[in-house]
Amino acid sequence: MGILLMNIVAFSMPMAAYINPTAFGGATGADLATYLVNYVLFDGKMRGLFSFLFGASTLLVIERAQSRGVSAAGVHYARMFWLLLFGLAHLFLIWWGDILAHYAIMGMILWFFRNRSVGKLILIGVLLLVLEFLLMASMPMWIWALQNGHAGDAAQTAKGMLAMQKTVGVPPAGIIDASLAVHRGDYAAIVADRIARHGLAPINMIFFVGPETLAYMLFGMAGYRSGMLTGAWSRGRYVRWLLIGFGISLPAYIAGAVYMVQSDFDMLAVASAVMTMPVIFRPLMILGWACLIILLMREGGALTARIAAAGRMAFSNYLLTSILCATFFYGYGFGFFGYLSRFEIYAVVLVVWALMLLWSKPWLERFRYGPLEWLWRSLSRGRPQPLAGGAIADA
């Protein structure tokens, strides 16, 4: 649900709008406020929390396979293989912003850390984040070099500036217009454009965000093994880490927001505040979010039960969200791509959230798994798994 707060921009607008609000979608009034709230509280944090949970669930599946006396490696790699295929199908057939293929690739690497202690998992994760920071720091350094004439001759500088405008700045109007035309067109044109622009995304992501993703998965393993993600900590400990996580990260993000606004979202400011600085502070806010959610969830509460059901069907809800949003915004559906402002698109988020909460619990009262969870499980085990029975009733 939190990931959709950010993904909705990528569903509804040209890609440049995701990072820089002045590129498209509105950068004043409610639109600017929406961007800044998302930047401070949600951008990257929900994806990071998802990565934490992916690492935790991977360790849980491995331990359960070992307890059943079956090959844990066989179970794990079968799951990752089919997740990779699901992700590639999602990427090419539904939406360019797929994360599943990347998670599957990182999950294959994750196996080799399954027996590490909590301390070593955290240490390796921190080292990976140092590597990620060095990768991300190269972007503002490159922009500074371009802006100050230290990036080669005029032709090289112009080429570099255009690349950075497409990434963290305001692309030329022709590029925005082309994106609008494609996504307001038919399905074949959208798929062809997606393959041309994002066909190598799973490979590129390994080098761009792979260290960070793997670090968060390792933190998730540590969180599971330490009891943090299972609710085993004392209330006081959760409160303490909530205050530490938000107390350190919130001021940094607020400072980043002020910096971007005061610079009128200059490329150097956006690259520094959105791409580089968060590598340091985002893990602390993710930890804060995890602690806050655990503290807020009241056992037996009606809303808690519905959110828990939506979470047990995260795979189905993730892909269903892509289908719904692509149908609503793209030309082969209702064709709203580029017509709603940054603030207005959140009406769509509320509708999708409501659908998740309305259908997940009734489904799990009748069936053991979500539909795609069942398919993934059946394919991974090489035979159809029992579906009827009701996961909530079984729990």
Per the listing, tokens 């509280």 go with: 41
Task: Count CA atoms closer than 13 A to 185's CA, side-chain side.
Answer: 15
Contact between 321 and 350 (Cβ < 8 Å): no
Q: What is the pLDDT of residues 50-106, one digit of tens each?
A: 999 999 999 999 999 999 999 999 999 999 999 999 999 999 999 999 999 999 999
Structural domain that includes position 86: 2-394
Q: Residue 388 forms beta bridges with which residues?
A: 367
Name the residue type at position 208: F
Domain count, the chain: 1
What are the tokens at 305? 């039960």
Instruction: For the full predicted model, state whether its pTM sits above 0.85.
Output: yes
Report, as ranges of residue numbers, the positions in the chain whose pLDDT lies below 50: 394-395
Q: Residue 367 forms beta bridges with which residues?
A: 388
Query: What is the reported pLDDT for 395?
Result: 45
Query: What is the reported pLDDT for 392?
Result: 59
Interior angle at CA 19, CA 18 and CA 24, nearest 5: 60
Q: Which residues contact 118 (CB under 8 A, 6 or more apart)?
A: 222, 225, 226
Q: Which residues contact 9 (CB under 8 A, 6 or more apart)?
A: 17, 18, 25, 342, 345
- Reference 297, options 230, 393, 395, 217; nearest CA is 230
